[in-house]
Structure 1
């Protein structure tokens, strides 16, 4: 049994699965009225990212075809990198550990734990590298279509 409950944060939906020990969420009950026992069982929702553009500033589009969602855990060893590449479908990257640098031409961005960004099909070629002194872990959620690769590597012409 699923119970859908809208929450105050735009674009977010909490789903209660009817499992024992899960607290119900009442958006009409002010937090100040919560007692200490129920406070530890209430959902804590913090928006991380909501945007209509990727890092390049351009809007993104979704590929035509049979929809497929992907969630990837990418671990960069110290000094590890992904060479020049593009993405044919939009994705959200969330850094959970370490420090990464995202470079597209003259545009350089660094991200650390708890930070997220959108990369899109319109963004153009870029690289990503671990610039920290520990492995970096990035979770990547891709809104793609079946059979479409997540990453296309850029090769130089012969």
Structure 2
């Protein structure tokens, strides 16, 4: 019994504990905008997006909180009003919410992991021409 106790102490003493490295913690999007969770049953979605060097992501908006992590490359994000930010490999970001914006790869391909904190029945991404009544995107 004593041997088991000693072994347990040795094993527990040598357990490596993970130390969190917070990549992002924010109450606003990258442009200072508010974050609001949609009503309804929560639905989390994660996608991997890849854009080639000459791709230009069309203007769109996110009616749900959207977070990204750049795995590869550099991306210029620009709102329709002209606000911009540059995201590079290793950068986390809280996307603008309900704000029309687009992304353009800079100097090569870009890969981003995107997390949507949405709700069942609420789209994660909306193109302005598909939202003429501005239900999801601000005018």
TM-score over 0.5 for the alignment?
yes
Higher helix share: 2
SS of the residue 2:60 aligns to: strand
SS of the residue 2:84 aligns to: strand
Map 1:3-82 → 2, pairs under 5 A? 41-82=16-57
Q: Which residue is 2:60 aligned to?
A: 85
- Structure 2: where are the runs of 5+ without partners? 1-10, 133-139
SS of the residue 2:97 aligns to: coil
The answer to whether the 8 Å contact 1:99/1:111 transfers is yes
Q: Which residue is 1:15 aligned to?
A: none
TM-score, normalisation: structure 1? 0.68
The answer to whether the 8 Å contact 2:49/2:111 transfers is yes
* RMSD across aligned positions (CA): 2.3
The Cα offsets for residues 38-92 of structure 1, whole Å up to 9 and x where unpaired, read as 59x4424211100000122121100001110011111111121221111010111
Larger Rg: 2
Q: Which residue is 2:94 aligned to?
A: 118
Q: Which whole-Å CA distance do the structure 1 matches of 2:121 and 2:50 have between them?
A: 23
Task: Note closer, same or farther for the CA distance 1:95–1:47 as it changes in structure 2 (3 Å cut).
Answer: same
Q: Which residue is 2:137 aligned to?
A: none
Q: Which whole-Å CA distance do the structure 2 matches of 1:78 and 1:70 have between them?
A: 26
SS of the residue 1:155 aligns to: helix
**Which structure carries more relative contact order (alpha carbon 8 Å, separation 6+)?**
2
